[in-house]
Amino acid sequence: MASHKISMAVRTFSTSTSTNQLVKAPLQIFGIEGRYATALYSAASKQKTLEGVEKDLLKLQDALKKDVKLRGFVENPTIKRGVKVEALKSVAQKMSLKPESANLLSLLAENGRLKKLETVINAFTQIMAAHRGEVSCEVVTARDLDADQKQKLLGVLKSFVKSNQTIQLSTKVDPSIIGGMIVSIGDKYVDMSVASKIKKYTELISATV
Residues 80 and 181 in one domain: no
pLDDT at position 9: 52
Q: What CATH number should be reported for the domain holding residue 33?
A: 1.10.520.20
- The strand pairing partners of 139, in sequence order, are 171, 183
- Does residue 193 share a domain with residue 171? yes
> What is the distance between the terminal CA atoms of the chain, rounded to a whole angstrom?
56
**The total number of structural domains that make up the chain:** 2
Instruction: Kindly report the pTM of this predicted structure.
Output: 0.70
Distance, C-alpha 73 to centroid of its chain: 23
State the pLDDT at residue 209. Answer: 58
| pLDDT value of residue 68 | 92
Q: Report the distance separating Cα 140 and Cα 177, nearest Å.
A: 8
Are both 159 and 179 inside the same structural domain? yes
Is the domain of 51 the same as that of 145?
A: no
Cβ neighbours of 25 (radius 10 Å): 22
| Final residue before a domain boundary, out of 83, 107, 130 | 130
pLDDT recorded at residue 41: 95
Please identify, among 130, 163, 183, the residue that sits at the C-terminal boundary of a domain: 130
pLDDT of residue 12: 53
CATH number of the domain that 202 lies in? 3.40.30
Residues 52 and 95 in one domain: yes
Q: What pLDDT does residue 17 have?
A: 38
| The predicted structure's pLDDT at residue 202 | 84
Residue 3's pLDDT is what? 47
85 with 97, same domain: the answer is yes
pLDDT (tens, 9 = 90+) of the chain, 209 residues, equals 444 544 555 555 544 434 567 788 888 888 999 999 999 999 999 999 999 999 999 999 999 999 999 999 999 989 999 999 999 999 999 999 999 999 999 999 999 999 999 999 999 999 999 899 988 899 999 999 999 999 998 888 888 888 888 998 999 999 999 999 999 987 788 999 999 888 888 888 887 75
pLDDT of residue 104: 95
Q: Which domain holds residue 199?
A: 133-208
Give yes or no: residues 93 and 115 share one domain. Answer: yes
DSSP state of 22: P
Angle between the N-to-C axes of helices 31-46 and 2-13, in degrees from 0 to 180, rounded to the nearest 10 = 20
In the DSSP assignment, the letter for residue 37 is H
Please check whether residues 120 and 137 belong to one and the same domain.
Answer: no
The predicted pLDDT at position 165 comes to 87
* 23 and 125 together in one domain: yes
CA distance 81 to 70: 15
pLDDT at position 2, please? 46
* Residue 38 shares a structural domain with residue 126: yes
Q: Is the same domain home to 6 and 107?
A: yes
Domain boundary among the residues 130, 157, 191 is at 130
